[in-house]
Chains A and B, each alone.
Chain A
């Protein structure tokens, strides 16, 4: 109903736009902070945890590899040492010194341990008394050499890798044994160091990670990928001695962090070095990282968008509700005002009636006296004056009756009404006056099948009368030939409309907003109540009233009524 109440006396107060923007902004900020901070915090936490876990995993593998490779290398060397030691226990000094017997032993050894290159027996004086192998070493004296001293003291010896005569890298394992009371003799074997490289190759370490052996001076004992060639100095610093294997982080050669594992191989000069770059896992790590960030940013954007949408929706609903409430309050206020005005008006009307009745009678009496008396000098004048008094009393009476009509809410008596007939009836009341004033009234029925309305005849009459009276009064003021056009039409299946148009002076825009207010009139002798009563009646009957006007052109009132009486709710 709000649309049709245009030019109504009340206006809805719309809340200030700023206030709602402010509210919206703070809702969005607060909700975003609350929603996003856990997301962000958790993302960061996750990120660092992932990083650490990945690192640990790589480290774990490095540890595993280092430990097990150390063990297997140690086992390998121990195995060969055991073999040689067994031979010295098993055979006599003479057997080992015998070239042919040594050859047989060498053959067996070679069959069992495939990597033996040569085998030699050295007496306590350092002289190699028997030798089997590709080199010409029989008779060579090692008494001056460090390793000989070491092996006689220690009982065993493993050498660094060295380049052999045919540019094949070898290393030596030697064991010593005392026969009798003399100094120990040494059984010495040369081993192809490729076997060491093999052990390392079998680790299958993917580039750029690598593993290799160095000696205590940092010289490579096996070939390496990035550290240099065999028997060159490697780029890594020789790590400090540790009986256990060690794995730790190290700044890598190209600035990447790497994981360094090393182990001193017991009973040997070798140090196992394993360098792991978490490169392969890093590829996954980058993808994961990127995925995480993308997801985070995407989630943040979606969250913020949703928050903004919801906030906008909520705030606009709040605003709607506020303005609706303001409108309703205003209307309630207005109605209360009207009701109290009505009551006051009724009270005044009642009170005035009595003194008016007295005036009426007294003036009437004066008239009676003057009429029945014979002619006297002021008879005509007296009668004139008294008539004037009585006329004014009549006018007062009309006003009080209208006031009372405005004040009470008469119960409606419903009957079926033909608008066509009703309009013609009402015109009948005013015909004489219209003719007198040269005003033409025309009725136009636009729809042949206008339904009959169920409504109150008396009140409808009053509505039509009021509006027609207004038009008549307006036309009386303008100089032109007055024309009033009454149009009847059906509005959809459930409504009927009556439009009363005149070509009077029209109503200005400012006045138009007030015309339905009680006591508002631009006429010098108007009551100002006609239209407000009309408005009240129309509303009570469940209808709507609209006005259009243009100064200098005319005015039209359109009343739309339901075919069946509907409840005119207070919220309309």
Chain B
């Protein structure tokens, strides 16, 4: 999985775990659905990669379980994550649901994986988006993502993973 996909998935998972009704990656494949509850669409607005160590090499570490030594590699991403907060124009939700959901999201991002360090979260005013037929409040999350990967003894790389990511 590409590193940015790892970060987006981590943000979506954290939002869902915090009770956000639905969190999806922006521009999903397939047709738009008729949303009956508020939804957050997560995307990357900008980013830069910063190499850690020498050519991303962090050193060796001992895996206590296997007893083997592995080479560790790491990288840091500086990202601005866009979170589109959408709410259906009905009596139950309406425009007021957008800032309410932003408050929930602001609380949820304090519980992101350890490898995602939040610097700032902000949002714009709520407006009606004619393209999707929903109220929209656009939030931005500035964060630093720390990813790592380890090389097997044979030198084969594994995917970069988000530090602190919980894997099933």
Q: Say if A and B assemble together.
A: no
B residues bordering A, Cβ < 8 Å? Answer: none
